A and B are shown apart, each in its own frame.
Chain A
Amino acid sequence: MATELLARPTETKAERKRRGVTERQRPLWLLTPGGILMVLVILIPLALALWISFIDLDQYTLRRWVEAPFIGLANYSEAFGSGLLRSIWISVSFSVLSTAATVPIGIAAALVTQNKYRGRGLVRAVFLIPYVLPSFVVGTVWKTMLQPDGIVNSLLGQHNTLWLSGGRSYWTLILVEIWAAWPFIYLMSLAALQSVDHEVHEASAVDGVTWWPKLTKVILPYLRGPVLLACLLATLNHINNFTLPFVLFGAPAPDNVNVMPMLVYVTSFQGLRFGLSAAMAVVSLIVILIPLFIYLRAVKLDVHEEGGRR
């Protein structure tokens, strides 16, 4: 365990008190029900996933998986030889493009609802709709609208445009993801925008700054920290999004949208190559470790710790 790294031996009792935690009468037994359950349903499966990635587990060995042969890194080398790199590229580019597109939309939405006006509550409620709708519902309704004989094609006056297969599918996925995900950036920007002191606005007004310099030089710097944090989280959510590609395109997905979660799912539950897909899943975890690590550094973990550096 890495606990030694995190313990702070130089800390005095008084400091600890100030931090808001106490040493006396620690009812640590209260951790047991939640703790045991978390070990059972999280740590053991995670360890097992790692183990499976080293064994040759398929539909024949599944019934006696304990005896499945250990094959070292063979699953990993097979994974890299069978389209994993392409899936990583698709996943990463899809996530980064989706995040990049949602940021200006989300910030713009926060800017237009910052001030009170008649009907603002209604506008804010409208902005939350895509966020509130479950992902599988968003996927289902867009899939219906994007059918070759669906409403999108009839509004565009076309009849043969394929949105859900072939080259366009990648952009379809990004567009639907943007439609569903921008309110998250909007909510995080709005929270940051509301923490800007009124004095800042007044000072700018007194100085007679016009709106564009005020926005870019005064207001947006306040948003940088929270929005960067939101971007990391949004990117992680995009990269792990299984529901949207699965519902939009079905499994197996078209080649252009074979994102990592789809690849792992199809390899394990349609190809029944559990060992191979575990190796792919472990690699996909490694891919997200970099943004995840930065996010963990930035998020406020403890009572008096500074988080979301600005």
Chain B
Amino acid sequence: MSAHAEATRLLPRPLLITLTVLLCAAVLVPVSYILLASLNSDVGVASGEFWPSSFSLESYHKIWTTADLSTGIVNSLIVCGATAIASALLGTTTAYVLVRFSFKGRLTILRGLVGLQSVPGTLMLLPVFVLFSSAGNYLGLTVVGTRWGLFIAYLTFALPFSTWVMVTYLRGLPRELEEAARTEGASTITILRRIIVPLSLPAIVVAGIFAFLLGWNDVLFASVLTRPETHTAAVALQVFGASQEGGALPVYSQMMAAALVCAAPVVLLYLVFQRYLVGGLTAGGIK
């Protein structure tokens, strides 16, 4: 070990190894059981096997007929994708103005953006539900149960979130390029399109992905605002779990497989964008 590493080392070696092993075990033991159970059969899992007596992908086949996962995943992709695009684009323009120009109420808006992320979801869901159901009574529009309704509901927390992600990024961006362009007579739209968007593309992608994940991970709004045809992946998984409760044979293997399938898109996004996502997270200080 080099002198450099020796100086910055914080823990004695035995302690370091012990802690690392303990922490990894705390994560990996449950996670590997989940993987193994999903590759086992329902009978094998029910008999209490940790290590499957025979490996098969059977559970991964069955879940598409026993659970309504495909509808759920398609709905989640549509609604969360739309939420991601809308919040990333609107968040970028709003954040640009908030970072670069001063006006009355600016700090209030910035505070609001941060504060809104901690407003309980239940507090937002209630009025949204009342408004949506009264749209049916007063305007003759069906909103509850549609993908549109869910999309609008997701904007309530995705929009301030993405805007805040963009604010934290844009305030670190040097102003020289835009100022040069402005002296050349470029309009604000041109500056946004030609300078801000290309320079902050990684952050825009992160803002969009975070908005997508907020929607994908949501159970609260989707459990109230969807009906069977518009169930999201998260709700489909809950419905599957509830429908199997009290059955003769517990379908634990299928539950694990279905849960892993629901987690797969998220894990994939993190694998591809890991560096940006983790960086954006600690910079913005938000989950």
Contacts and interface: CB of A to CB of B under 8 A. Distances in A.
Q: Are A and B associated in one complex?
A: yes
Interface of A: 1-3, 6-7, 16, 19-23, 25-28, 30-31, 33-35, 37-38, 41-42, 44-46, 48-49, 52, 57, 62-66, 105, 108-109, 111-116, 123, 126-130, 132-137, 140-145, 147, 149-151, 154-155, 179, 184, 187-188, 190-191, 198, 201-202, 204-205, 211, 214-215, 219, 229-230, 233, 236-237, 239-240, 242-243, 246-247, 250, 260-261, 264-265, 268-269, 274, 277-278, 281-282, 284-285, 288, 292, 295-296, 299, 301-303, 308
Q: Give the dominant DSSP class at A's interface.
A: helix
B134 A269 contact: no
Contact of B23 (A62, A127, A135, A236): A127
Most buried by B among A45, A113, A147: A45
B124 A46 contact: yes
Contacts of B101: 21-23, 26-28
A116 B5 contact: yes
Given A3-B108, A20-B171, A41-B159, A215 B10 contact: yes
Contact of A28 (B48, B103, B129, B131): B103
B199 interface: no
Contacts of A277: 122, 126
Closest 3 CB pairs of A and B: A34-B94, A154-B48, A48-B127
Contact of B219 (A28, A136, A288): A136
Nearest to B24: A126
Contacts of B122: 242, 260-261, 264-265, 268, 277, 281, 284
Interface of B: 4-12, 16, 19-20, 23-24, 26-28, 30-31, 33-34, 37, 45-46, 48, 50, 90-91, 93-94, 96-108, 110-111, 114-116, 118-124, 126-131, 133-134, 137, 152-153, 155-156, 159-160, 163, 171, 175, 182, 188, 192, 213, 216-220, 223-224, 234, 237-238, 241-242, 250, 252, 255-256, 258-260, 262-263, 266-267, 270, 274, 278, 281-282, 285-287
